[in-house]
Structure 1
């Protein structure tokens, strides 16, 4: 017996009955599912006819025409032949639980498999061996046909699960899979013996002909304004931006130029607080230069909230942000930022709309620029050649003061590079706060050389080295640079 709430193809093929089927919405769902399966079968028959038509045209020495030219191609992993190494289609690796996308626009190394993607993989996996081996319609039929002679052959076969696979989209033919699954083979010749058999299957989900439909509701919303983003009018909280700083005069100049353009000149509802650490190893008294530059902006924009607090101790980002947060009330919306960040005005709006007091905090994933020596193209664009999405960083955060206080704030005993941001995130999760994390194209981390102090604790030192390695350049461009230097490759 199967449940209608989980109408996977494997359940439908195994179940004798489906339960419950009393409520009208379940009956509609069941009807829709079987209609979609029937539609899939009809589409497969259409493709088979197109391919047969192409085959006959070849026998008659007549070139295929119309839809048969595209839909009638035989499935093949080599139907698309790139002319250059940059034209090679990238395969995406996946398991039952994770997808690893090299070509993902978000650059996320690993992400969970969505429900729709899992259903698509299951469907391809269920049909794969049946179509290729037995011309059947599902995995169950394969196993049943194999097991139908188990009394004679003294063996049974059981399908376990998909172990891993690869998928890609070929622009000429459709979605292609390479699947690795395992079958359990039990033999009863001389005693009982259990073997695990690997099955390698290639599947292609072909494109159909193009269809055009008109969405009346979408057209109506274009005139009524229902599709307009109302966040800007419904969220107008003051964003309190807190920036820790030690030296870095050039970076501070760039940050203030961006802040002036985004906030000061536009009268954006924002406040800026700078926590400046005095450094005994400063060159040309950088702290005084930062103070003078801040005073210049204060005189130029007297109505703007622009404040600087000086701290005479060793730099600690967590300590600085704790001090900054204490300057504002618990109902204040805080944005913990860094001096190497350049942001657009819509980042502040997303900071407002994604942060909910007592419920949710916003962790934007920033775009981090590569070393200009290895970057290609305009680095202001969020492309794979100019930078990468820093999913491992939790330094940028928007949250309300009460949530920051309830979490226990930063661990100020952590010295040097890293860890304090991850520690805060763990505390927020433990306190029951929802984490809203997403890539934010308006938040860019400008490249700067990274120095990893060997005296750091081992965990922090390894994290620093990993971050430093990521900023050199994309793997593809570094390989290209290597072959430019060594035309013959490795020796």
Structure 2
């Protein structure tokens, strides 16, 4: 009996010993791998210690440094170190509240990056071994140096400031496994060997472990590597954490927005970035291409600057409130380092005016002392209605529309901050109406009536439309001037070490600005005349004036006088192409052509070219024929002009300065005169006619009439005329740009008056928008898009007082298309005069009904 018991005991003992030996032999290869991992504490490639790689001293610990919050390990490969990894390091990588290192295969190196070449690891996919070896490296060398450890890919964008705020709210002494929880997609669900209560943190948007979690997991990495159940490394890391740290990935639903994954693949974040998830997330994934990473970083910096400006306003308000409560006089209040809080004797070394920036938000900040100081509101609906605007009803400008979208997005985010806890959500539908005004001293005021939808999904479910009034004030902050240098690090160091550099630059800019402002004032106020400017050009590119013409020969004579006076006599590098629609029975045509030939002979060069056209007049066809002709070279600047325009040498300078090849189209905002029959602020031009018998004598007489008119007091102000902001007929563009296959010439399908300039503008904007989208998509998809940066036309508009549209009566043909006829009537109405002037002159002082009858008579004629 005893012998049988001994045999059974020895048998069991042998089985246990055999099992232990088998387990040891099974794990031997993994242990050998980890022993090799210990060997890269002295890497053979970098010849740097782990602390030197991330620029960390041995004395720095969690207890004595604020830069030891998190260690970010970015998994990359040899193929992406110079592209993706470098883009990460050049953008958000240097701003993390801790340190960052890039983990790649054995033999990897990059002089500009903190790279760890993992010994015995290659770049094969899936990267299970690379991921686990990276975690082991963190544990071996940095476990006591950081509170948190973040595993990231080289195609993720992380907002360092939001990451820091998030991590400092979480207890790092406890085991934490944070990320966007996943259980596999529809095809993989149930095939990843996960229990019903198990999940994993998706690796793409990033995975965060506390120091306690990494301590529990790292010693068991050999076991996890030898027991892989899937090809997904993030699934296996999650399984390992669940088994040995005893915690799953965070189940919180909000992690989907905090660690955001865009399912668009390679096209992710290549479109508009003004989206809720971009603003609210801490990490954004994936960004596959370096240019898109830099684009996202530039947008992030813009958001960050907005937040900093808002914080500065809060500080100004706190200072102003404390000064008021403590009753401290301005002259006695100084900062500790001796810089005054308030402007004294034009000293630029001050911290701005708290009487303005320190005001709390209110629609009554500005208190007008008289009627002239009242700032009028614009009414917002489907259109904008403005009493003070030259176009009282117009479409909403893109800048205002974008600003409203920003305001509504922020408001809705604030409204729905605690919506999930309350079991409801409020959705935005539309703006019913609103009011808008801009106070230059304080900011942009908005009163909005919004249509919202209240949805309750917990308890008694309900969906109810609601209206909400918003009173919003977007405050302006102070104006700052900074000097731009090539190296931003040098600029920042110089600013910190020696603030006087910026102050001297500010004083210099002030003196230059005052000097230019005085010259500008003298230039436009000297006896109401339009003085001649120097004729030197900013560059040598030729300007080609393109003038469509049909009839109106007397006005054309005035145009020729202007051309001779400004261009020919000063030998400017400018030609004129006249696209002339001819009626065979008109005897004045031959006289005009003879005048043109006479001018060309007198100035020894053919500066005026005439293209004869026949048939029904079309401004688009006339312009396109001139552009397509061989008289214009690819590097010439085309300036589309009307016969009613007077110009000066300053016009030529502005055309050359503001028209940029492949980059910018210049659409000047022309000053248009009011009807002198209704507003007697402008001298009426002398009668000009063409004598069929003596054209040369009449042309010289026309020159005298032109000089008489040009020397009169043509003052650019609200009483004499208006800047035609909604007119796009005058345009400056290089021929190579207008003939690009995206634009392919001028619009030629418009007959009669107007609308062709609007269609041409839409053509440019559409082409530019398509190219930008194609550029971003080509970057996202990794395709080459050659010469994309050489053609990206922007529209530049600016009021140009050197371009004056001389008043002439407009006849609107009722047979025009509806939109053309409406635009024609609108332009005709705008020439009646300034709203305030007409109200004061005719409605208040004179008989209003008599004025209405006079206006009807003028319009009828």
The TM-score with structure 2 as length reference comes to 0.42
Shift of 1:398: 2.9
Shift of the alpha carbon at 1:470? 3.0
Partner of 2:626: 324
Aligned counterparts, 1:307-456, within 5 A:
307-311=609-613, 313-325=615-627, 326-331=629-634, 332-355=636-659, 361-375=665-679, 380-381=715-716, 383=718, 386-394=721-729, 396-400=731-735, 403-404=738-739, 406=741, 407-410=743-746, 414-425=750-761, 429-430=766-767, 434-441=793-800, 442-456=802-816
SS at the partner of 1:468? helix
Name 1:278's counterpart in structure 2: 582
Shift of residue 238 of structure 1?
Answer: 1.2
**Aligned with residue 167 of structure 1, among 436, 448, 458:** 436
Counterpart for residue 90 of structure 1? 376
Q: Contact 1:369–1:445 at 8 Å: present in 2 too?
A: yes
Greater Cα shift, 469-478 or 400-409: 400-409
Q: 1:262 to 1:35 in 2, by over 3 A?
A: same
How far is the alpha carbon of 1:393 from its aligned partner? Answer: 3.1
Instruction: Please say if residues 443 and 473 of structure 2, whose CA atoms lie closer than 8 Å, have aligned partners that are also in contact.
Output: yes
The number of equivalent residue pairs is: 448
Higher strand share: 1
Instruction: Note if contact 1:354-1:436 (Cα within 8 Å) is conserved in structure 2.
Output: no
Q: Does residue 266 of structure 1 match 2:552?
A: no
* Partner in structure 2 of residue 80 of structure 1: 367
1:177 counterpart (440, 443, 446): 446
Task: Report the CA distance shift for 1:268/1:12 in structure 2 as closer, same or farther (over 3 A).
Answer: closer
In structure 1, runs of 5+ residues without a counterpart are 55-65, 127-137
- Higher relative CO (Cα under 8 Å, sequence separation at least 6) belongs to 1
Name the SS for the 1:202 alignment partner: strand
User: 2:36 matched to which residue of 1?
Assistant: none
- Identify if the C-alpha distance between structure 1 residues 193 and 348 changes in structure 2 by more than 3 Å, giving closer, same or farther: same
The structure-2 alpha-carbon separation of the partners of 1:404 and 1:103, relative to structure 1 and needing over 3 Å to count, comes to farther
Specify the alignment match of 2:317 in structure 1: 44
Cα separation, 2, equivalents of 1:103 and 1:87:
13
1:105–1:344 distance in 2 versus 1, CA, 3 Å: farther
- Deviation at 1:449? 0.7
SS in 1 for 2:739: helix
CA change 1:333–1:208 in 2 (3 A) is closer
Taking structure 1 as reference, are residues 276 and 119 closer, same or farther at Cα in structure 2, changes over 3 Å only?
A: closer
Describe the superposition over 1:380-429 as per-residue Cα deviations: whole angstroms up to 9, x where unpaired: 41648611324243454433167338545456565422344445555555
- Judge conservation of contact 2:659–2:665 (CA < 8 Å) in 1: yes
The match for 2:821 among 461, 464, 484 is: 461
Q: Distance in 1 between matches of 2:826 and 2:408?
A: 36
Shift in Å, 1:448: 0.9
TM-aligned CA distance change 1:380 to 1:279, over 3 Å: farther
Counterpart of 1:254 in structure 2 is 558
Instruction: Give the drift of 1:251.
Output: 1.6
Contact between 1:370 and 1:388, CA under 8 Å: does it hold in 2?
no
1:102-134 Cα deviation digits (max 9, x unpaired):
6579998642127995698469x64xxxxxxxx
Distance in structure 2 (CA, Å) of the matches to 1:453 and 1:7: 46
Q: Does 1:290 align with 2:290?
A: no
SS in 2 for 1:198: strand
Most deviating of 440-449 and 476-485: 476-485
Measured in 2, the distance between the counterparts of 1:423 and 1:204 equals 36
- Could you tell me how far apart the structure 1 residues matched to 2:611 and 2:481 are? 61
Find out whether 1:112 has 2:398 as its counterpart: yes
Structure 2 matches for 1:294-305, cutoff 5 A?
294-303=596-605, 305=607
Inter-partner Cα distance in structure 1 for 2:277 and 2:316: 22
Q: Distance between the aligned counterparts of 1:412 and 1:170, measured in 2?
A: 43
Provide the C-alpha distance between the structure 2 equivalents of 1:465 and 1:223, rounded to a whole number of angstroms: 47
Tell me if structure 2 keeps the 8 A contact 1:240–1:273. Answer: yes
Alpha carbons of structure 1 residues 110 and 51: separation in structure 2 relative to 1, 3 Å: farther
- Aligned equivalents of 2:664, 2:360: Cα separation in 1: 51
Which whole-Å deviations, capped at 9, do the CAs of 1:412-458 have from their partners, x for residues lacking one?
56542234444555555559663534134133322211112233344
Q: Secondary structure at the match of 1:368?
A: strand
Cα contact 1:366–1:443 (8 A) shared by 2 = yes
Q: Cα 1:268–1:106, aligned 2, differ >3 Å: closer, same or farther?
A: farther
One of 306, 328, 340 as aligned partner of 2:608: 306
What's 1:130 paired with?
A: none
Q: Match for residue 465 of structure 2?
A: 196
In structure 2, list runs of 5 or more residues that go unmatched.
1-256, 261-268, 286-292, 328-342, 344-352, 483-501, 517-535, 683-713, 772-790, 853-861
Q: What is the Cα deviation at residue 270 of structure 1?
A: 0.6
* Contact 1:278 1:310 survives alignment (8 Å): yes
RMSD between aligned alpha carbons? Answer: 5.3
Aligned to 1:482: 843
CA distance in 2, matches of 1:460, 1:31: 46
Structure 1 or 2, whichever has the larger Rg, is 2
> Structure 1 residues 177, 314: CA separation in 2 closer, same or farther (over 3 Å shift)?
closer
